[in-house]
Amino acid sequence: MSHPPFSPAQARAARLRIGLTPEQVTAALAQLGVRRPVDAVTAWESGAVAPSEGELFALADALWCPVPTLMALRPRSLREHRLARGLSAERLALRIGMPVPDYVRTEADHRWSGTDVQTVLLADALGLEPDELVRVIGRAGELDGLLRQAVEGRWKQHTASLARLVDAPERGVARALRTLHQEYARFGERYRGHLVARSDDARLKEIATERAGWLRALPDRFLHLVGHGTGPPPS
């Protein structure tokens, strides 16, 4: 497995913030069961070598700082979220009830193949909100596809699938889909109204552009309506 994301500058800054020497960091690592020479600590800080996952977790403990600080990034992938929680692949696989080789393959292939139960356990283990979960396990395209089918056709038949996908109560999902279906239908009503009135092409294009923008924002709008949005609903 490749080395985890690591910022030498952040590691050095974290050490200096608590006033430790490289020798003291080495001693702290040894107390945590990770025995490395002083040269290893200085090599990490210089960027000559990157720590392994286990070394990263131990270094964060030794420096009294969160793992994401040493990663110097906002976790986006499944592996990055796992690392940010200080979990080994084996430990996370155990928590979600997935064979370790299957989980490791999931990270390597960037393709989530877990069951619904494993997906819920994954979200809990990594502290992921439903909208984050959808992005992390690569199902954003599935969400968008299901939502478009729902607003363009019979939304009720998609309620259960969408509720499972975003881990939300079916009643709340049904309310959201009803609202979205009505909003989408109004675009069609406006468009047909202007066709009957023989409005100019500019007005028809304007409505079509508005609808295209609404569809692009559809996943965020849906997540907001079911109570998983992180900000105001799209206009």
CB count within 10 Å of CB 206 equals 14
Residue 37 is assigned to a structural domain of this protein:
yes
Clarify whether residues 18 and 55 are in a common domain: yes
Residue 200 pLDDT grade (very low, low, confident, very high; cuts 50, 70, 90): low
Instruction: Assign 6 to helix, strand or coil.
Output: coil
Residue 27 pLDDT grade (very low, low, confident, very high; cuts 50, 70, 90): very high
Residue 131 scores a pLDDT above 80: no
pLDDT at 235: 38
pLDDT at 25: 96
Clarify whether residues 146 and 217 are in a common domain: yes
Clarify whether residues 154 and 197 are in a common domain: yes
* Torsion-angle region of 47 (φ positive above 0: left; ψ -120 to 50: alpha; else: beta): left
What is the average pLDDT across 138-143?
73
Clarify whether residues 146 and 214 are in a common domain: yes
Assessment of whether the complete model's pTM goes beyond 0.85: no
Residue-wise pLDDT tens digits, 2-12: 789 999 999 99
User: Which residue shows structure tokens 């009720």?
Assistant: 156
Clarify whether residues 151 and 209 are in a common domain: yes
Are 71 and 84 contacting, i.e. CB atoms less than 8 angstroms apart? yes
Residue 219 is assigned to a structural domain of this protein:
yes
Residue 220 pLDDT grade (very low, low, confident, very high; cuts 50, 70, 90): confident
How far apart are alpha carbons 201 and 199 in whole angstroms?
7
Clarify whether residues 205 and 145 are in a common domain: yes
Clarify whether residues 200 and 181 are in a common domain: yes
Q: Domain tally for the chain? A: 3
Helix intervals (H) in the chain:
8-17, 22-31, 38-46, 53-62, 67-71, 78-84, 89-96, 100-109, 116-126, 130-136, 140-152, 159-166, 170-196, 201-216, 218-225
Clarify whether residues 144 and 116 are in a common domain: no
Clarify whether residues 86 and 64 are in a common domain: no
Q: Which domain holds residue 96?
A: 78-126
Clarify whether residues 190 and 162 are in a common domain: yes
pLDDT at 104: 92
Clarify whether residues 221 and 144 are in a common domain: yes
How far apart are alpha carbons 34 and 61 in whole angstroms?
11
CATH number at residue 45: 1.10.260.40
pLDDT at 210: 85
Residue 2 is assigned to a structural domain of this protein:
no
Residue-wise pLDDT tens digits, 111-122: 788 888 898 899
How far apart are alpha carbons 57 and 155 in whole angstroms?
46
Clarify whether residues 121 and 97 are in a common domain: yes
Are 10 and 70 contacting, i.e. CB atoms less than 8 angstroms apart? yes
Give the angle 129-168-125 at the CA atoms, nearest 5°: 40
pLDDT at 173: 93
pLDDT at 140: 64
What is the average pLDDT across 156-160?
91
